[in-house]
Structure 1
């Protein structure tokens, strides 16, 4: 299968029309059409619905686009690996909306200063989708929490181990933990992410019944509610390091205090392994005392 034809197909998918794709890949519109026909004949499938203007991808065509992405990425990684030049090209990174987002930009800047030929692209999303994209090769690696199922051909290494805190407005009296959780108005973190499950599991194990006054889906919104005096909430430590959080009172959550880990998931045979290990260590440094440097020991 000719990879030039696959690149043309990806250009059509990106730019939506044959004519615009032709400009981007420096071909005539007729040549683009011939490449598409050649692909269709080789695959024995119609990739486009030509009854529409411009032609649109058929379900089979979209399936081939998915395959083409993987093949082109594998080709590029193989060439880089053979040249020993894995610090060029584009490093595709995904990240959950978590404490990690606060440290990722600084780590990416460090990588850029050391490897000026390496471009980095960051995409924010949910853990399950990010893991799927790493497995399929759409991402080189992703930053996710530990409490998620990891496929066997992927590996996960933590770079952050942060404690969880119960936070309350400064004018609220500090009392025993279970007493506060049972009696004070509680702002619940309600989101389809592992952290929410960690908090709910600990609350259940403590046997408390919270008096919920709000449900929010981001930690920043959670902290805003606490700062306004609405109630108490459980948050990870990295979100409490900003100066404006100094007026909040914090109490260890759990007995003993529980924590959650954030790490990098990647493919086991990732040709960009060395670069990702370095990114890991930059992230760990950005996390301060809670950072976990990469030791080379795999965890899955």
Structure 2
């Protein structure tokens, strides 16, 4: 039994179904089933009464849920205690993709500032390919970027969160599935040179979905604005549901299982500010876990 299995069990128990737990943990339904089965096998009990629809917690499951919550709280407190024992000072120049700026970064930076008031972090926003070059040239100390498609020379990348990749459409759009929306409306492409765009194109090619491309934009906000005005649909990574509400668009997952991208912290191998980036990565992991988007 590990922390990951307990987090998955709590997510399923609190949300009422395996599929909802899978969505909350951003893992596949088979992975959730396997983790729950592992817990049941280890303890020799049934955590859910599967004869009922939807499945409900057994008495043993209710007991484990209470203790699992306590364990997860203690797990977070252990990390906090260790971090508080090591005060950090210095400066860090950080690059970040836009979606992280509106999701995990604010929480992570607030945590770091509380634990290490002497640590100064300057943040630049941009896109993954640009930050990869800046890292190699020593222009930044670290960067939050999506998973590189190839190994970057002399760069180490550590994943910490997943972001869903969604089909966004005007609120009044009638299609209920990703394929229906993509076939019914013109397509607004996210810049094809961005790493995430390659992931999207590969997924569409496998399903042989033909798009009627109408424009190509660099900005997620600009794409959402165009979609909200009824000019088409698009496929983009979304860090938080507030983005959808703000731009007045609706969204459906892309594919089954839903497609997502992994984001992580990249730094040069042998980074002289390794202690600072380690503290940052720890804060990012905790922020992602609390938001339900950890890897």
TM-score, reference length from structure 2: 0.62
Change (3 A) 1:130 1:243: closer
Q: Is the 8 A contact 2:177 2:252 kept in 1?
A: no
After TM superposition, give the deviation of residue 145 of structure 1 in Å: 0.8
The equivalent residue for 2:49 is none
Deviates more, 1:257-266 or 1:208-217: 208-217
- Which position in structure 2 is the counterpart of 1:289? 292
From the superposition, tell whether residues 246 and 94 of structure 1 become closer, same or farther in structure 2 (CA, over 3 Å).
closer
What's the counterpart of residue 99 of structure 1? 99
Could you tell me how far apart the structure 2 residues matched to 1:137 and 1:215 are?
A: 31
Q: Give aligned pairs, total.
A: 207
Partner of 2:129: 128
Structure with the greater alpha carbon radius of gyration:
1
After superposition, where does 1:115-264 map in structure 2 within 5 Å? 115-242=116-243, 244-245=245-246, 247-264=248-265
1:139 and 1:95 map into 2 onto residues whose CA distance is 11
Deviations 1:253-287 (A, max 9, x none): 02321110111111232343333222123223434
Please state how far the C-alpha of 1:120 moved relative to its aligned partner: 1.2
SS of aligned partner of 1:238? coil
Change in CA separation of 1:153 and 1:247 when aligned onto 2, cut-off 3 Å: closer
Q: Is the 8 A contact 1:92 1:141 kept in 2?
A: yes
> Does the 8 Å CA contact 1:140/1:270 hold for their aligned counterparts?
yes
CA contact (8 A) 2:142 2:267 kept: yes
User: Secondary structure of the equivalent of 1:241?
Assistant: helix
Q: 1:94 to 1:224 in 2, by over 3 A?
A: same
Q: Distance in 2 between matches of 1:168 and 1:151?
A: 35
Question: What RMSD in Å do the two structures reach over aligned CA positions?
Answer: 2.5
C-alpha distance in 1, partners of 2:211/2:244?
29
Aligned residue for 1:188, secondary structure, equals strand
Distance 1:106-1:175 versus aligned 2 partners, 3 A rule: closer
- Deviating beyond 6 angstroms after TM superposition, the runs of 4 or more aligned structure 1 residues are none
SS at match of 1:159: strand
How far, CA to CA, are the matches of 1:113 and 1:161 in structure 2?
25
SS in 1 for 2:292: helix
Determine the structure 2 residue equivalent to 1:40.
none
Larger deviation: 160-169 or 116-125? 116-125
Q: Does 157-166 or 122-131 show the bigger shift?
A: 122-131
Say which is worse superposed, 126-135 or 259-268, in terms of deviation: 126-135
Q: Deviations over 1:214-263 (max 9, x none)?
A: 32111111111122222211122315334734853322102321110111
**Which deviates the most, 123-132 or 184-193?**
123-132
Q: How does 1:31-110 map to 2 (within 5 A)?
A: 87-96=88-97, 98-102=98-102, 103-110=104-111
